[in-house]
Amino acid sequence: MPPRRGRGRTTRPTEEESRAGSDDNIQQVENVTRRIGEMELVLARFQRTNPPTFFAAEGGAMVEAWLVQMEELFDTLEYAPEKRLKLAVLQLRDNAHRCWRGTSRILRDSGAVITWESFCEAFRQELSGLVL
């Protein structure tokens, strides 16, 4: 019995199709590389401003003072809200960072989208009375 032909076999992509797929992959890599480069520039610019850090032990009135400082800095640098959130979290230290990680996990688990505004609200609620 002669072997069956063509059954269950996929056809090989043409050279043109392979090139098109390769071009798509190259474009995706270039897009990711560009976004990483942009974020590195944002981070470097932000770090040059010597932004304030926040430790949970500061608590109380220092929460509002820190948020005001960060808001003024972000306004000056004209950062979009999604960048503000990421950069602010980088400035949390020790228990403040641990507290935010727990709070953000609870928010995400409840289906909430964490924005700069929701960060500020949760930050005020969680850290205003916290003295460690």
DSSP 92: E
Residue 33: Cβ within 10 Å count = 10
The pLDDT tens digits of the residues spanning 79-94 come to: 999 999 999 999 999 9
Tell me what pLDDT residue 30 has: 84
Those residues of the chain that have pLDDT short of 50 are 131-132
All structural domains of the chain with their residue ranges: 16-50, 53-131
The structure tokens listed for 76 are 């000056």
Q: Alpha-carbon distance 57 to 95, whole Å?
A: 8
C-alpha separations of 31 from 26, 37, 124 in Å: 9, 10, 37
pTM of the predicted model as reported, rounded to 2 decimal places: 0.70
